[in-house]
């Protein structure tokens, strides 16, 4: 039987271990989730709103305690950890504030007599499979809208953040969520598949790797269950010749290094037009050098360790592969000696198609810069990726910005900004970056039944 462990990535020290639950215990969780759904789906919206509002309040009240868990379990610098908690509070509050609007009947313009409306209803128990890079935020994107809608949730979190997972469950229960509406489950991949296949479960949401997404999506497909898959990204960051280079370089550093670069929407491929390439690279490298790895518990630290030594090893393999095939290292480029899962800010140039770093996701503080000779070349190179999550373009020409936003094959485009997240903005991608959307009303509707109610003789 497997385990879930807290291992401090800054020191390697293990502080907590939890065993997986048995198949019988998982079956009991599904039974309770199905029973809770029957009552939660008909609970007054005012009560659901109150639970969500109180959940937001508890995140704010317990921000310091919650942030420390993030720092302990995945090495997030404490200032960024507090920022994640604040974002999570805003997500729960957003759905509390908007659930009535999102659930309102939608009248249809029809031919013939009578009325027709589309009614938004929940569909039942759901399984969530969530990653370690934003332990609270990733869960909130899935849990908040579905709790508001009336669905119930069984949540399998990542193995390296069990205490964060338990904290989420605890806060929801403290906020007044009835038993069974949300349940943390320390389960295996095989148990996830069994839960998704269970007739009582009606859908699954996964945020993680393409491999995990393909596996869960296959199980969902075989069992005709709705799925949302938020997967990887290799986001392009385009800087055109007319851009504000200072602003672009500063945004690029933050976009690449926040959360240790361990974000699917992090800026990863920097496509810089000829006329500003040298200037941008000089300023970008200098900015990257200013984020040296440090103690994640210090409020001054901006770059902590990666979440695990395994993550360091995987990242370094991609970097060393690129170097061995002729890539130029502009800064960083080698794993440091000493304890902790640290990796320095790294910038690679001259990355070509025969290098893994050209097409694979660099999940850490490593950027690739490409020189392009035109707007067309920038768009072509940006789209030359199996991924299509988010993207950025820096330009002072609105017509160019509009063209880039139309032609990029991504789910999100940011103009003169690195990619960010907000409760009222839909989140998701295309191609290998996944299926479906989270946040805003789009995330609310993913696991809803859009029921037609037609009354030919109605008024």
Q: Which is catalytic among the residues 73, 169, 230, 273?
A: 230
Reduce the DSSP state of residue 27 to 3 states and report it.
Answer: helix
CA separation for the pair 330, 434 (Å, rounded): 32
Instruction: Determine how β-strand 203-207 pairs with β-strand 125-129.
Output: parallel
Q: How far is CA 151 from CA 202, 306, 408, in A?
A: 10, 34, 35
Q: Which is catalytic among the residues 264, 361, 438, 446?
A: 264
Find where tokens 């190179």 sit: 381
Element housing 164 (H / E): helix 162-174
CA separation for the pair 378, 212 (Å, rounded): 31
Is 264 a known active-site residue? Answer: yes
CA separation for the pair 264, 233 (Å, rounded): 5
Question: Burial code of 72-92, b = ≥16 C-beta within 10 A, e = fewer?
Answer: bbbbbbbebbbbbbebbbbbb
- What are the residue ranges of helices labelled H in 75-161? 78-103, 137-149
CA 121 to chain centre: 25
Element housing 58 (H / E): helix 45-61
- Catalytic residue IDs: 230, 264
């Amino acid at each position: 039987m497997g385990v879930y462990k807290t291992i401090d990535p800054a020191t390697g020290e293990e502080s907590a271990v939890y065993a997986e639950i048995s198949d019988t215990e998982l079956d009991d969780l599904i039974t309770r989730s199905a029973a809770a759904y029957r009552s939660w789906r008909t609970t007054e919206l005012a009560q659901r709103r109150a639970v969500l509002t109180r959940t937001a309040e508890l995140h704010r009240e317990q921000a310091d305690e919650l942030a420390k868990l993030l720092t302990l379990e995945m090495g997030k610098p404490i200032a960024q950890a507090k920022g994640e908690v604040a974002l999570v509070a805003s997500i729960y509050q957003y759905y509390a504030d908007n659930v009535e609007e999102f659930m309102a009947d939608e009248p249809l313009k029809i031919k013939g007599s009578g009325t027709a409306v589309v009614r938004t209803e929940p569909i039942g128990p759901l399984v969530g499979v969530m990653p370690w890079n934003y332990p609270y935020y990733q869960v909130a994107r899935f849990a908040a809208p579905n709790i508001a809608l009336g669905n119930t949730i069984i949540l399998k979190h990542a193995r390296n953040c069990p205490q964060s997972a338990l904290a989420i469950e605890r806060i929801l229960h403290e906020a007044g969520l009835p038993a069974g509406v949300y349940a943390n489950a320390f389960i295996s991949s095989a148990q996830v598949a069994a839960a998704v296949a269970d007739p009582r479960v009606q859908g699954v949401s996964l945020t993680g790797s393409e491999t995990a997404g393909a596996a869960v999506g296959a199980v969902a497909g075989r069992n005709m269950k709705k799925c949302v898959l938020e997967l990887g990204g290799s986001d392009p960051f385009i800087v055109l010749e007319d851009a504000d280079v200072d602003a672009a370089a500063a945004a690029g550093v933050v976009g690449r290094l926040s959360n240790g670069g361990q974000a699917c929407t992090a800026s990863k491929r920097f496509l810089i037009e000829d006329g500003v390439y040298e200037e941008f690279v000089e300023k970008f490298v200098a900015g990257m050098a200013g984020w040296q790895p440090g103690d994640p518990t210090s409020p001054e630290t901006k770059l902590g360790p990666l979440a695990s030594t395994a993550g360091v090893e995987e990242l370094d393999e991609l970097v060393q592969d690129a170097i061995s095939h002729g890539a130029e290292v502009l800064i960083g480029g080698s794993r440091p000696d000493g304890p902790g899962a640290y990796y320095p800010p790294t910038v690679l140039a001259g990355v070509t198609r025969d290098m893994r770093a050209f097409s694979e996701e660099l999940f850490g503080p490593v950027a690739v810069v490409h020189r392009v000779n035109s707007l067309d070349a920038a768009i072509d190179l940006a789209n030359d990726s199996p991924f299509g999550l988010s993207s950025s373009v820096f330009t002072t020409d609105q017509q160019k910005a509009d063209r880039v936003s139309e032609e990029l094959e991504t789910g999100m485009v940011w103009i003169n900004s690195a990619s960010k997240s907000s409760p009222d903005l839909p989140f998701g991608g295309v191609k290998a970056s996944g299926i479906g959307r989270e946040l805003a009303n789009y995330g609310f509707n993913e696991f809803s039944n859009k029921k037609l109610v037609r009354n030919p003789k109605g008024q």
